Amino acid sequence: MKDKIFSVLQRVGRSFMLPIAILPVAGLLMGIGSSFTNTTTIETYGLTGILGEGTILYALLIIMSKVGSTIFDNLPLIFAVGVAIGMAKREKEVSALSAVIAYFVMNTAINAMLVISGQILENGEIAQTVLEGTIASSCGILTLQMGVFGGVIVGLGVAALHNRFYKIQLPSALSFFGGTRFVPIISTIVYMFVGILMYFIWPFAQSGIYALGGLVSGSGYVGTLIFGLIKRALIPFGLHHVFYMPFWQTGVGGTMEVAGQIVQGGQNIFFAQLADSANVAHFSADATRFFSGEFIFMIFGLPGAALAMYRCAKPEKKKAAGGLLLSAALASMATGITEPIEFSFLFVAPMLFVVQVILAGTAYMIAHMLNIAVGLTFSGGLIDLFLFGILQGNEKTSWMLIVPVGIIYFFLYYFIFKFLILKSDLKTPGREDDNTETKLYTKADVNARKEGLKKAASEDEVSGEADSISEAITRGLGGKQNIEDVDCCATRLRCTVGDISLVNDEVLRATGASGVVRKGKGVQVIYGPNVTVIKSDLEDYLASATDTIVIKSIVISSPMKGKAANLSTAPDEAFAQGMMGDGAVVTPEDSYVYAPEDGEVSFVFDTKHAIGFLTDSGVSLLIHVGIDTVNLNGNGFKALVESGQKVKKGQPMLKLDLDYLKKHAPSIVSPIVCTELEENQKVRLIKEGNISAGEALFVVDIYE
């Protein structure tokens, strides 16, 4: 049961990643836009001439600010769709459409209830009696203020309906409405009632949320400390998104009136204040306490830990470990993505992770105590510090305090890590025993892999390096049939498998993973920020791999020089449809047909237009020169081998009179097919276009 809950929470957490990914961009637009349209800023830096009201740049910046702001304003809808996509197992686009519909339906139902009960007046205004901030406009509908929760309720519910009904079969008279088409229908009906229900329930939830938020706010610095400790401790389980999101985005994280609007959630409050920064003396640290501390340990602390690990690495491994640790430290500093560093010690030295949780958790509290109010969109890196701290000015954010505290943190991390690593002989990167390789992913690996990908793509090779990695991952996860679901978050591949005992950590680690976390049927394989590439490759691979695992591949080379193409292009239906077997066609440009591989000539047809061939590797081939050439009665062909003869690859078997054939046969396109394929054998074309005799034409993959 616990495992099941974990598995669901894991899915919920990763489904937040798609909507969250837009926030840095929205924040960037809004941050730049609102900073440089702020009259005070413009005047302070003497930029009125180029940035003042009426200039083109001013207009552009206003647009940027508004565009960024609209994303924050419509987050509930964005979360509804994003979560529905993330949680849907298949046919995700249908659940996205259904989520949009359900979101409008639910809010319209709530609106209707509010009108009926008189809380919204007929002229569209909110009645005086209604508690301030409980009714707000969402996508133009006046509805109960549910914030991102409203979106998440829609996303989760629609995805559940979707997964339950997307394959439903209706009676034949109604069959048009079956399958995926049923999902928007059922979503509409269900969410009409959810809306009515919300009208009754939500006011209680609202007071509950405000109470919880009040409790956290009321517990002051201790509340901040507890928040910080829990958030950092949840990282290894990948559940931190579920935990912190309510504090950032809903009333749990506090409520505040900004520019006459009631705003909920720490992050929302910050951005509302940012939009209204002309009227704000100092941003609220009570709102930003759920993230301002991150700058301290992400920009300063964790790089200190990385330096400690580097200094403790064995001399001969310093270079390798250094590359890894430097790139991980840079990721943390610049973008605030900490997983690469944290995972470099989490699995090999859990003790260090405890230190990290305590130090980082405390950082949130210290920032709160020092009244540091620097906002962020996604995580606490330099980019966000620049936009939402430095640019906003020290008077409003107290960002300068981050620097001295950060320097103290840098040394704290450095010395504590170094002390513990040396004292307990922890096997951090570069300190492994000699027989184990540094298994962590370095930037060089990532780049090499990317290059490999590009190369494979440009050369049109079907079996690139990406495929071999995906193949290894598939093997490590217990084979294609064992994989039920694949997804990823910022740094890890998250999979659900049928049988956890088939998962092989060693195989997965060899694919470049720095760690494997298993819980119930969920498996998380930690790769680093490039995991999205790995995930896409794996999905492509799983979609194209027709069956479990290829245990053997037999290469069949072209028996002639010419132009190779897919068998389906054969100008003969029987061949094109694969009735004689699967394979390829070659249009000959040279007058000899050679033995494609070592093997035996099974037969030479009397009219010499076709040769049966059995390769030593056990593949039966029919080499059929031209179409309808049986009618030529042997004219234009000269056989150089006879039935039953053993031949070596490249030995000539037929001599062709190409001019004669071109004149008298409907086509000289020559099918080369495997006539006796078993069910677990599949043909994979590997060359199209110009091919020489003896060059690999296709491969017969034999599956498990």
Partner 1 sequence: MNEKGKMLMKTFNHEIKDEVGIHARPAGLLVKEAKKYNSKITLNVNGKSAEATKLMAIMTLGVKQGQVVEITIEGEDEDTAYEGMKVFFEQNL
Stretch of 191-199, 257-265, 393-401, 614-622 lying at the interface with partner 1 (CB under 8 A): 614-622
Please tell me the distance from the alpha carbon of residue 665 to that of residue 136, in angstroms, as a whole number. 77
Q: Does 580 bind partner 1 (CB under 8 A)?
A: yes
User: Token pair for residue 7?
Assistant: 């598995």
Positive or negative: CA dihedral 123, 124, 125, 129: positive
First-residue to last-residue Cα distance in the chain: 33
Stretch of 6-14, 48-56, 121-129, 616-624 lying at the interface with partner 1 (CB under 8 A): 616-624
- The binder of partner 1 chosen from 630, 640, 685, 696 (CB under 8 A): 630
For partner 1, the closer of residues 77 and 672 by Cβ is 672
Q: Does 28 bind partner 1 (CB under 8 A)?
A: no
Residues 6+ apart with CB under 8 A from 458: none
Nearest of 345, 361, 349, 325 to residue 234 by alpha carbon: 361
Task: Write the single-letter amino acid at 393.
Answer: G
Strand, coil or helix: 605:
coil
User: How many residues line the site for partner 1 (CB under 8 A)?
Assistant: 22
> Is 55 exposed, middle or buried, given 0-12, 13-18 or 19+ CB atoms closer than 10 A?
middle
Q: Residues 563, 689: contact at Cβ < 8 Å?
A: yes
Task: Write the single-letter amino acid at 704.
Answer: E
- The binder of partner 1 chosen from 548, 591, 602, 651 (CB under 8 A): 602
- The binder of partner 1 chosen from 14, 443, 509, 624 (CB under 8 A): 624
Please tell me the distance from the alpha carbon of residue 315 to that of residue 75, in angstroms, as a whole number. 50
User: Token pair for residue 116?
Assistant: 């009926």
For partner 1, the closer of residues 90 and 638 by Cβ is 638
Segment holding 522, helix H or strand E:
strand 522-526
Q: Does 645 bind partner 1 (CB under 8 A)?
A: no
| β-pair partners for 584 | 566, 672
Please tell me the distance from the alpha carbon of residue 122 to that of residue 116, in angstroms, as a whole number. 9
Residue 671 Cβ vs partner 1, minimum distance, rounded to whole Å = 9
For partner 1, the closer of residues 297 and 605 by Cβ is 605
Please tell me the distance from the alpha carbon of residue 238 to that of residue 5, in angstroms, as a whole number. 13
Please tell me the distance from the alpha carbon of residue 397 to that of residue 403, in angstroms, as a whole number. 13
Please tell me the distance from the alpha carbon of residue 297 to that of residue 299, in angstroms, as a whole number. 6
Please tell me the distance from the alpha carbon of residue 157 to that of residue 171, in angstroms, as a whole number. 25
Q: Does 637 bind partner 1 (CB under 8 A)?
A: no
Please tell me the distance from the alpha carbon of residue 3 to that of residue 11, in angstroms, as a whole number. 12
Stretch of 50-58, 394-402, 518-526, 597-605 lying at the interface with partner 1 (CB under 8 A): 597-605
Q: Residues 673, 656: contact at Cβ < 8 Å?
A: no
Q: Does 472 bind partner 1 (CB under 8 A)?
A: no
Q: Does 422 bind partner 1 (CB under 8 A)?
A: no
Determine how β-strand 141-144 pairs with β-strand 582-588.
unpaired
Q: Does 574 bind partner 1 (CB under 8 A)?
A: yes
Residue 693 Cβ vs partner 1, minimum distance, rounded to whole Å = 22
Q: Residues 356, 304: contact at Cβ < 8 Å?
A: no
For partner 1, the closer of residues 451 and 676 by Cβ is 676
For partner 1, the closer of residues 270 and 605 by Cβ is 605
For partner 1, the closer of residues 540 and 616 by Cβ is 616
Q: Does 639 bind partner 1 (CB under 8 A)?
A: no
Residue 695 Cβ vs partner 1, minimum distance, rounded to whole Å = 24
Q: Does 606 bind partner 1 (CB under 8 A)?
A: yes
Stretch of 42-50, 279-287, 476-484, 628-636 lying at the interface with partner 1 (CB under 8 A): 628-636
- The binder of partner 1 chosen from 579, 638, 662, 678 (CB under 8 A): 579
Q: Does 408 bind partner 1 (CB under 8 A)?
A: no
Q: Does 633 bind partner 1 (CB under 8 A)?
A: yes
Q: Does 475 bind partner 1 (CB under 8 A)?
A: no
Q: Residues 86, 16: contact at Cβ < 8 Å?
A: yes
Stretch of 73-81, 294-302, 533-541, 619-627 lying at the interface with partner 1 (CB under 8 A): 619-627
For partner 1, the closer of residues 235 and 632 by Cβ is 632
Question: Which residue in 312, 489, 495, 674 is the catalytic one?
Answer: 489
Q: Does 44 bind partner 1 (CB under 8 A)?
A: no
Q: Does 243 bind partner 1 (CB under 8 A)?
A: no
Residue 651 Cβ vs partner 1, minimum distance, rounded to whole Å = 20
For partner 1, the closer of residues 170 and 579 by Cβ is 579
- The binder of partner 1 chosen from 169, 175, 643, 692 (CB under 8 A): 643
Residue 620 Cβ vs partner 1, minimum distance, rounded to whole Å = 5
- The binder of partner 1 chosen from 622, 647, 656, 683 (CB under 8 A): 622
Q: Does 581 bind partner 1 (CB under 8 A)?
A: yes
Residue 667 Cβ vs partner 1, minimum distance, rounded to whole Å = 14
Residues 6+ apart with CB under 8 A from 58: 37, 51, 52
- Residue where the block lists tokens 């330099």: 382
Q: Does 610 bind partner 1 (CB under 8 A)?
A: yes
User: Token pair for residue 524?
Assistant: 């998380």
Please tell me the distance from the alpha carbon of residue 627 to that of residue 610, in angstroms, as a whole number. 10
489 labelled catalytic: yes
624 labelled catalytic: yes
> Is 109 exposed, middle or buried, given 0-12, 13-18 or 19+ CB atoms closer than 10 A?
buried
- In the complex, the residues that contact partner 1 under the rule CB under 8 A are 572, 574, 579-581, 602-603, 605-607, 610, 612, 614, 620, 622, 624, 630-631, 633, 643, 675-676
Residues identified as active-site: 489, 624
